[in-house]
Amino acid sequence: MTDHIYWQDGSLFLLDQRLLPFKKKYVECKTLKDVAEAIRNMTIRGAPLIGIVAAYGVVIGMKEVIRSKGRATEKDFDRISTTLLKTRPTAVNLLWALKRMQKAYLMAKDDPSLEGSMLDEAVSIHVEDIENNRMISLFGAELIEDGDTILTHCNAGALAMGGYGTALGVIKAAHESGKKIKVIATETRPYLQGARLTAWELREAGIDVEIVPDNHGGILCYKGAIDKIIVGADRIALNGDTANKVGTYMLALCAYRHKIPFFVAAPISTFDKDIKDGSYIEIEERPEKEVKYIMAVPITLKDIKARYYSFDITPHRYITNIITEKGIIKKPFKKYIHQLF
């Protein structure tokens, strides 16, 4: 499942994740505005994929400027970068990818092949993400035992990355090595990443999957129905505090209380070396209409207020290990996270 993003004839094509698994339709992004909108309106989502799409967005933005003015200045780069950065604030992979694109721009800015160099960098970010996913998955699969029932939240699969997946990658690699795994996926209201995307991806991979409403963490832990929990991340602070899809914190608390291992799987691009703990992470708030409607069907009265924090912070003490492409991080996280960079 790596056909959810591709570059063709100067356009970026994105599989519209808002319609999955019922419809497979691609959105073509020809302008910077198209790319920014595709990130903002969640045509695509997932921290690493947001970074990859933003990198291609820079290529498209630069191309637009070069077509209209003949060259792209640092000021043009900054405007393009700021437009993309404003789309979604929590996933640090976005900022990370833009910094890499800035380096590539500064190296090649006076070069006639600037456009080509920028595209090469975007492709490298994309390809490296897939390779990192593979490494994370191989390391993480060692933590999974034959016969495990694993709960996951949101979608940290191929659809959220360049390809393969982090949390789902670990599960897939364990399955591919012959371990029998059962997955419980939370539905992940209101966008339903779990019910629509994770369940679909795991079904395609031939893995046994069952969905549950988001409020089932407590009862499942209480009944001893889960052996492990594994999730992805949108930003990880230097002490291991982790931002991920809202509801993750609640699951981590339940896991801690019931002594169930709780793993976070993420590439190093998800670590923010500028923040010492999770209190510095900006939590995205999304429009209340996304809570008040499920797939265009209203679920409450028009004038009822709604609130939607898209992410929450899981304090590091509730996380057993963090799995990266460089290996499995043990506690104390603070000590080992510093060694990643």
Length of the chain: 341
Selected from 14, 156, 281, 319, the binder of ligand MRU by CB under 6 A is 156
Site string for ligand MRU, 107-146 (x = CB under 6 A): ----------------------------------------
166 lies in the site for ligand MRU, by CB under 6 A: yes
Q: Is 324 exposed, middle or buried (0-12, 13-18, 19+ CB in 10 A)?
A: buried
**Distance between terminal CA atoms of the chain?**
30
Cα distance between residue 199 and residue 297, in whole Å: 22
Distance of closest approach, residue 68 Cβ to ligand MRU, in angstroms: 32
Distance of closest approach, residue 48 Cβ to ligand MRU, in angstroms: 6
Closest-CA residue to 160 (of 186, 184, 189, 196): 196
Distance of closest approach, residue 243 Cβ to ligand MRU, in angstroms: 8
Pairing of strands 228-231, 262-265: parallel
Site string for ligand MRU, 10-49 (x = CB under 6 A): -----------------------------------xxxx-
The packing angle between helices 32-40 and 47-69, to 10°, is 160
Active-site residue, selected from the candidate residues 129, 214, 234, 312: 234
319 lies in the site for ligand MRU, by CB under 6 A: no
Site string for ligand MRU, 209-248 (x = CB under 6 A): ----------------------xxxx---------xx---
Q: Please, which residue, 148 or 234, has the CB nearer to ligand MRU?
A: 234
> Is 148 considered catalytic here?
no
Site string for ligand MRU, 177-196 (x = CB under 6 A): ----------------x---
Cα distance between residue 327 and residue 304, in whole Å: 47
CA 79 to each of CA 33, 61, 251, 298: distance values in angstroms, whole numbers, following the listed order: 12, 9, 39, 38
Coil, helix or strand at residue 240: coil
Which token pair is 285?
Answer: 């708030």
Which residues are catalytically annotated? Answer: 234
Residues that bind ligand MRU (CB under 6 A): 45-48, 91, 154, 156, 160, 166, 193, 231-234, 244-245, 310
